[in-house]
Amino acid sequence: MHSMTGFASEVVEARDRRWLWEAKSVNGRGLDLRLRVSDAAEADEAALRAEGGKRLSRGSVTVFLKEDGVAPGGALVVNEVALNAVLQAAKLAEQSATDIGLDVSTSSIAEFLAIRGVVEPVAEVGSEEATKEISAALQTGFANLMTSLIVSRAAEGERLARTLSGQIDQIEVLMNVAQAEFQTQMSGAPSRLADKVAAVLDSADVDPDRLAQELALLAVKADVTEELDRLATHIAAARDLLKAKGPVGRKFDFLTQEFNREVNTLCSKSGSSVLTQIGLDLKVIVDQMREQAANVE
């Protein structure tokens, strides 16, 4: 079982340049892959989307690509346009500070060079070979990113599976308690019903056939055997899904709706405060299970 929640990052180096891939994934009804990439990967966006679509089936996934400086040992060049702009801005700032009597320290060349965009990696503009190499490196990095994201989602999926398994166990325990309570009710029902019928017959002129029909209808309405049996079936199905391979999120979501339907019917048919309370406890756990199942891929 995999979750739809995960995070991954991947560093790519090519042609003395370095990029950082990051992917953040949360739950979603289908697969919503959003790419926020730098100019270096714009031409590859279709291929990247295709790769992501092959690797993931559900989730809202946002992928970022940003240039992250120069690879170790890479050659650097000063961007004179950016440097001049920074120097002019610094000169203006220092003059303005002096005019209002502020004492500012003299800037060092190292501070200017540390400003983003002033120093850049040597680019091979127009080099088809360089473009292909960078494209291949970024696509490989993206594939590695998807692998890491899947690993992250799998680890979160293991936690989800443990939580869901515990909730299914709780439902089974409460179901068994409900069965025992229902059997207790049924064992004493004939005598209680006989007393009530006798009281009605003594106090009113009642049609015996109509009374028999009403009693039969009442017995059917109070019988929760089918609901408990279906709950047992749903429990078995949920445990099978926990063991299944591949995406099971939609099936789990549908199954939690079935759990909820049976529990609601159980509460509406309840003939005792004890059975009603068990039904309410079941509703709480089913709601919790539905919240967890919403994160399953």
Helix (H) or strand (E) holding 191: helix 128-203
Residues 6+ apart with CB under 8 A from 235: 168, 171, 172, 175
Structure tokens at 243: 């063991």
Domain 6-75+122-155 has CATH 3.30.230: yes
Look up residue 112 and give its two tokens. Answer: 């200017």
Report the amino acid identity of residue 144.
N
pLDDT at position 38 is 80
pLDDT on residue 217: 47
Domain ranges of the chain: 6-75+122-155, 78-113, 159-293
Strand partners, 32: 60
pLDDT at position 130, please? 83
- Sequence-distant (6+) residues with CB within 8 A of 82 are 115, 117, 118
Q: What is the pLDDT of residue 72?
A: 55
In order along its 297 residues, the chain shows pLDDT tens digits of 999 999 999 999 988 788 999 999 999 989 999 999 887 788 899 999 999 999 999 999 999 999 876 655 555 667 777 778 877 877 787 778 777 877 767 667 767 666 766 666 655 444 688 888 999 999 999 999 999 999 999 999 999 999 999 999 999 999 999 998 888 776 655 555 555 555 555 555 656 555 555 444 445 455 788 899 999 999 999 999 999 998 999 999 999 999 999 999 998 887 788 889 999 999 999 999 999 999 999
Whole-Å CA distances, 286 to 117, 217, 278: 54, 29, 12
